[in-house]
Amino acid sequence: MNREIAKKIADELNITDEDFEKRKQFLQIEEEDIARIIKFRNTLKEIPGSMFDGFYNHLTAYEETRYFFKDDETIQKLKRKQMEYFEELLSGKYDREYLLSRLSVGYIHVRINIVPLWYIGAYNKYIEEIRNVIDKFKGIIDENKTMQSILKVINLDIILTLESYHYTKYKLQEELKKMIVTDELTGVFNRRKLEEVMQFEIERAIRNKKSLSMLMLDIDYFKKVNDEFGHNIGDQVLKELTELINKDLRETDYFIRVGGEEFVVFLPNTPLDIAKKIAERIRAKVEKHEFNIAGRITISIGATEYLKGDTRDTFFERSDKKLYEAKNSGRNTVCW
């Protein structure tokens, strides 16, 4: 079990020790249930490995699941895991470690593409096997009540596993979404995010009657950096530059790499006079910075404010025009 991952999931889902106790109470897992389970475990002596055969026969009966359990070595490894699971299930120790163990199962299921249908469907066979084992001890234990007690804990396990599964699935989907709109080199947004941001921020500025400014910036003579030092150093400059500029931006600002050495910064709730000051501060900061190996570089910036009647295209084109004015004015300057 990856304890740290499971702990993080518990923290994110806010499953505290107190909350875990409430879950057990809600499922009516009481001291007498725990006592029955411990008695059954002590009576059982040794967990029979054969009780897991039906479980995996069920899983391998379907073409879509057979792929995941296609060799005997994998099945034997999973049977050992099931033996460990069953040992924990019958331990009567439903504490923090037990919680983390069950949360870990949901995480693993997402990582290896085991869907809830297969997991829960196979449990029907698993429960049948447990009943068969319990029935061997008629007269020694109360088989019906013991089975009911075990089912309560199994329900707890299923709930925790599914919560962890859906949490992990959600996080992976969020990561994928982020990857789609994130520039792999610099970690800022990429061009795919540009239109979405423009549309959203223009509509919000109109709706709330707030200002919106845009900075378009470009590294001066960047080709010389690549030619003199190589593309690897050029990439390092781009990463160092984005880190440098990011420190001057607010959480509500958007920093987007639109291509090559060209970037856009959206400044919500920012009029042009403030945007000019931000642009000048960024320009001066870059000029003073000593880049690793490449030394000093400069940037040119075009600054514009959204005007009534602007479309995304006219807003962007005006910013682009101001950037070219800055470059044509000798570079290392801000135009608006």
For residue 52, the SS3 value is helix
**Catalytic one of 129, 163, 201, 261:** 261
> Which residue has 């960024």 as its token pair?
282
Whether 256 contacts 244, CB under 8 Å: no
Inter-CA distances, 26 with 21, 23, 123, Å: 9, 5, 21
251 assigned to active site: no
* φ/ψ (deg, to 5) at 160: -65, -40
Whether 134 contacts 143, CB under 8 Å: yes
Distance CA 115, CA 32 (A): 34
Whether 29 contacts 23, CB under 8 Å: no
Inter-CA distances, 215 with 46, 191, 210, 319, Å: 71, 15, 17, 7
Identify the CA nearest to 150 among candidates 139, 158, 140, 138. 158
Q: Please give the DSSP secondary-structure letter assigned to residue 69.
A: G
Q: Which amino acid is at 274?
A: I
Inter-CA distances, 174 with 62, 112, 170, 213, 254, Å: 31, 18, 6, 28, 18
Catalytic residues: 261
